[in-house]
Amino acid sequence: MTQRNFLKSGLAAAALILAASASQAAPTVLDFSELQNIGNKKVSSIQDGGYTLSNNCAGNACFKGGKDSLRSDVGGSWTTLKKDDGKVFDLLSIQLDDVYNGFWGPAYSDYKIDFTFKYASGKEGKKTVFLDQTFGFQTFNLNETYLRSASWMSTAYLRFDNIQTSPIPEPTTLALLPLALGGAFLASRRRKSAGK
């Protein structure tokens, strides 16, 4: 194999590694389209796109499916999002809506949603968002990275949909790129010095 061909092979290997890591990091949108299969039935947890949503509502069936969204039917409870495999992820955005939007008065509506984020580093973060008090979903760009879990709570019933997440590429996959390039460089130097 000539030095030029070997270098081409090394660069091709590096390109494949980059492509593999990029495909792992493609965003996932949890749109709950499978909920159409459960109708109005209440469930205690939902799995979608490699993620699990659960609720701390003391064993009750907390979630109610709709045509295209998930509804937390226990006000004051926390909904938690985690990856099924326990790996780290980014939470890019979420669509939220108060189920009643003041329809039955302020006792049933709350326009404040509190988020708690647990990071891979072991630290926690908090963020609060506010709904605009009009009917329909609002999109909140959270852009939280390197999470082990994300939780949110509203004292009212809350609908959510189109949760956009992104898995973090494995460090070992990314570590292979410099190794492939370094190996190609060393091999080309050896061939060069052997040819002298």
Q: The pTM is what?
A: 0.72
Can you tell me whether residue 22 is helix, strand or coil? helix
User: What average pLDDT score do residues 12-30 get?
Assistant: 62
User: 26-168, which class in CATH?
Assistant: mainly beta
pLDDT of residue 110: 60
DSSP summary character for residue 84: T
> Would you put residue 186 in left (φ > 0), alpha (ψ -120 to 50) or beta?
alpha
Question: With 60 as the cut, is the pLDDT of residue 16 above it?
Answer: no
Domain ranges in the chain?
1-25+170-196, 26-168
| Beta bridge partner(s), residue 149 | 118
State both tokens at 95.
């669509």
Identify how many contiguous H helices and E strands the chain contains and give both numbers: 2, 12
Q: How far apart are CA 47 and CA 14, in angstroms?
A: 34
pLDDT digits (tens, 9 = 90+) for 46-72: 888 899 988 887 555 567 666 567 777
Annotate 11-32 with b (16+ C-beta within 10 A) or e (fewer).
Answer: eebbeebbeebeeeeeebebbb
Q: What is the pLDDT of residue 1?
A: 52
pLDDT, tens only, 118-174: 999 999 999 999 988 777 889 999 999 999 999 998 777 788 889 999 987 666 555
